[in-house]
Amino acid sequence: MIKSGKFGIYRGNEYRIISDESDQYYIATRDKNKIDNSFIDKYDSGLYRKSINLNSLDSYYEIEPKAIYHGIHFPVRTKILNHQVCLGTGDANLARKMKFERTDKYFYEKWVSEDEVQIVEVRKDLMLKSE
Domain range for 42 is: 5-61
pLDDT band at 129 (very low <50, low <70, confident <90, very high): low
Tell me the longest C-alpha to C-alpha distance in the chain.
54
Whole-prediction pTM: 0.84
In degrees to the nearest 10, what's the CA dihedral of 37, 41, 45, 49? -90
- The verdict on 57 and 67 lying in the same domain is no
pLDDT band at 1 (very low <50, low <70, confident <90, very high): confident
CA distances 120 to 6, 39, 75, 104, Å, are: 16, 31, 10, 25
State how many domains the chain has. Answer: 2
Residue 130 is predicted with a pLDDT of 57
Residue 123 is predicted with a pLDDT of 97
What does the pLDDT look like over 12-26, one tens digit per residue? 999 999 999 998 999
- The verdict on 31 and 45 lying in the same domain is yes
What does the pLDDT look like over 50-96, one tens digit per residue? 999 999 999 999 999 999 999 999 999 999 999 999 999 999 999 99
Instruction: Indicate whether 129 belongs to any domain.
Output: no
Instruction: Indicate whether 40 belongs to any domain.
Output: yes
